[in-house]
Amino acid sequence: MSKGKVLITDDLHSLLKEGLIADGFEVDDRPNIAPEQVLAIINEYTGLVINSKVYAGGELLGKATKLKFVCRAGSGLEVIDLPFAAAHNIAAFNSPEGNRNAVGEQALGMLLGLLNNIVIANGETKNSQWLREKNRGEELSGKTVGLIAYGNTGEAFAKLLRGFDVQILAYDKYKTGFGNEYVKESTLEEIFGKADVLSLHLPLTTETQYMVDYNFLSSFKKPYWFINTSRTADMLRAVEEGKIKGAALDVLENEKLSSYTAEEQELYNRIVAKPNIILTPHIAGWTHESKRKIAETLLNKIRALAL
């Protein structure tokens, strides 16, 4: 007897589909489905798997009369209306365990790229400019790294930093007792005073969306390197004023570049013109290994629901 139908709306590892079928679900694997199409058929499904394309808000969930679970292939839960889901007994969860190591490795790679001018020097050298002294870098060893939020990705980044002889200070508003021989549980004030590097690992929520604003970025006692694999605003001004020595960004507030207003385009042009800013297209956590791990994580969590 079928346990019901599950709709997968993004390109996920086949392990998830195969596992769900083996468990007795019917699976519609439709990675190219449009959000409006999901809205039209959601009443047929027991389960829904989304990434960032589909927003599981009240409108969609209100039509999902058979839905027992909705899950995010990735770490953010901002694409699910959690209060609505809870009120209607719809289990809602994500899979940060699946891509945390990939995000940590991306953050480390971006940081080393900044400190050693790798991106700048690569472009110059390929343009027949052999500029050694101009690209003299800094060593990570001996520096103090401040982490804002110590969840899955913050902890993964900290583990990778352990071999670099750095001091790691971590602040998490909602977690205590996580300090160890490598990581010091810290306050924001201590991070502001000591950090040479700031790395954000914040989920996108109404509370965190504009937490890291210009005032926050200007609170550090010395110029610092900035790594952001989550989201923030006001970074460019701090770079232009020299408060941030260099920044590595994997996300933008609006990632649909073709939809930019004139103001957004002007800001984007200023960002990409800065040689001390590295920008990648939201690929932290986007590895071949994490694709499989995310599918495994979701499958295990669905199985734990005992439907």
3-state secondary structure of 122: helix
Distance separating alpha carbons of residues 300 and 293, to the nearest angstrom: 11
Q: Which of 20, 18, 25, 22 is nearest to 1 (CA)?
A: 25
∠ at Cα 245 (147, 131), nearest 5°?
Answer: 125
Reported as a single tens digit per residue, the pLDDT across 52-88 is 899 999 999 999 999 999 999 998 888 999 999 999 9
In this structure, what are the phi and psi dihedrals at residue 18, rounded to the nearest 5 degrees?
Answer: -65, -40
Distance separating alpha carbons of residues 157 and 150, to the nearest angstrom: 9
* pLDDT value, residue 220: 97
In this structure, the answer to whether residues 211 and 63 fall within a common structural domain is: no
In this structure, the answer to whether residues 185 and 48 fall within a common structural domain is: no
- pLDDT interval class at 231 (50, 70, 90): low
Residue 205 has pLDDT above 90, yes or no: no
In this structure, the answer to whether residues 56 and 166 fall within a common structural domain is: no
CA–centroid distance for 86 within its chain: 24
* pLDDT value, residue 213: 87
Q: Which of 238, 229, 236 is nearest to 268 (CA)?
A: 236
Residue type, 83: P
Distance separating alpha carbons of residues 12 and 17, to the nearest angstrom: 8
Residue type, 74: G
- pLDDT interval class at 210 (50, 70, 90): low
Give the chain's domain count: 2
User: Is residue 307 situated within a structural domain?
Assistant: no
In this structure, the answer to whether residues 13 and 111 fall within a common structural domain is: no
In this structure, the answer to whether residues 109 and 253 fall within a common structural domain is: yes
In this structure, what are the phi and psi dihedrals at residue 8, rounded to the nearest 5 degrees?
Answer: -105, 120
* pLDDT value, residue 202: 84
Reported as a single tens digit per residue, the pLDDT across 132-175 is 999 999 999 999 999 999 999 999 999 999 999 999 999 999 99
∠ at Cα 230 (300, 173), nearest 5°?
Answer: 85
User: Is residue 304 situated within a structural domain?
Assistant: no
In this structure, the answer to whether residues 11 and 139 fall within a common structural domain is: no
∠ at Cα 15 (4, 256), nearest 5°?
Answer: 90
3-state secondary structure of 124: helix
In this structure, the answer to whether residues 235 and 248 fall within a common structural domain is: yes
Residue 42 has pLDDT above 90, yes or no: yes
In this structure, the answer to whether residues 147 and 232 fall within a common structural domain is: yes
In this structure, the answer to whether residues 77 and 49 fall within a common structural domain is: yes
User: Is residue 183 situated within a structural domain?
Assistant: yes
- pLDDT interval class at 208 (50, 70, 90): low
The answer, as to whether pTM is greater than 0.75, is yes
Percent of the chain residues topping a pLDDT of 90 = 87
Q: Which domain holds residue 88?
A: 5-94
Rounded to the nearest integer, the mean pLDDT of the chain is: 94
- The residues carrying an active-site annotation are 231, 255, 282
The mean pLDDT value for 31-59 works out to: 96
User: Is residue 303 situated within a structural domain?
Assistant: no
User: Is residue 41 situated within a structural domain?
Assistant: yes
- Check which CATH number belongs to the domain holding 118 and give it: 3.40.50.720
User: Is residue 275 situated within a structural domain?
Assistant: yes
Q: Per this entry, what is the length of the chain?
A: 307
In this structure, the answer to whether residues 87 and 121 fall within a common structural domain is: no
User: Is residue 40 situated within a structural domain?
Assistant: yes
In this structure, the answer to whether residues 106 and 55 fall within a common structural domain is: no
Exposure string of 16-41, with b = 16+ CB inside 10 Å and e = fewer, is bbebbeeeebebebeeebeeeebeee
Structure tokens at 124: 């110059």
Q: Which helix (H) or strand (E) holds 197?
A: strand 197-200
Distance separating alpha carbons of residues 91 and 18, to the nearest angstrom: 21
Tell me which of 94, 127, 160 is where a domain ends.
94
Contacts 24+ apart (CB under 8 A), 79-83: 79/50, 79/51, 79/52, 79/54, 79/55, 80/50, 80/56, 81/56, 81/57
In this structure, the answer to whether residues 78 and 143 fall within a common structural domain is: no
User: Is residue 129 situated within a structural domain?
Assistant: yes
CB distance 16 to 299 below 8 Å: yes
